[in-house]
Chain A
């Protein structure tokens, strides 16, 4: 079955510290991969995406993610977290033929300590 797992429901980091949010997927073929962020009262904003090519992708707000085919993972990273990064982060996958039909992980809530 196709699925996305974000093992960490809630993560707390100190401002300025590095961050890594984990995402593992189960899919028949290599899907398209996405990270979205949702701030309170806001919609889902795309942080970055992987379609093909370089497995390290850069996104907005200083985020990056690395696709590892052998581990079926697409972990999100940021070297130095800012207080404004506190939000909920969703990993999602979609078939290359239809990037609108996405399967989402359950989300990771990031709290940033001053």
Chain B
């Protein structure tokens, strides 16, 4: 069964460092998303991406965040200068289209900023 894969599963980084979280969406999917879940809080939408551009982003997705689809298979989330409050589980998701079908989620990357 096709699945969304994320690497690494856990990343520890020092405050102020840049991190890149990687995702391989399901191959025939066209819409890609990042969510995050701070420990003990809700899963929150960060950004959606289609046709090589951001289609929607939340207030959380400020200038320190960026997304990219560098090739035909990967979808990345970059955090430029990490802060302690960026520590969270980050989920990648993808869907075939936007309406009438569900998003499939990866297993998440736990980011710990120290």
**A interface list, Cβ under 8 A from B:** 34, 36, 41-46, 49, 51, 90, 92, 96-107
Chain A residues contacting B94 (CB-CB under 8 Å) are 100
Most buried by A among B45, B98, B101, B103: B103
User: Quick check: A97 and B105 within 8 Å, CB to CB?
Assistant: no
**B interface list, Cβ under 8 A from A:** 4, 6, 31, 33, 35, 41-45, 48, 56, 91, 93-95, 98-108
User: Quick check: A98 and B44 within 8 Å, CB to CB?
Assistant: no
User: Quick check: A102 and B100 within 8 Å, CB to CB?
Assistant: no
User: Quick check: B43 and A44 within 8 Å, CB to CB?
Assistant: yes
Chain A residues contacting B99 (CB-CB under 8 Å) are 96-99
User: Quick check: B41 and A43 within 8 Å, CB to CB?
Assistant: no
Closest-by-CB residue of B relative to A92 is B43
Q: How far is the CA of A106 from the CA of B39 in the complex (A)?
A: 11
Overall SS of chain A's interface: loop
Chain A residues contacting B107 (CB-CB under 8 Å) are 41-43
Most buried by B among A41, A46, A100: A100
Closest-by-CB residue of A relative to B47 is A101
CB-defined A-B contacts under 8 Å, sample of 16: A36-B105, A41-B107, A43-B6, A96-B99, A98-B48, A98-B98, A99-B103, A100-B31, A100-B48, A100-B93, A100-B94, A101-B45, A101-B48, A102-B43, A104-B43, A105-B42
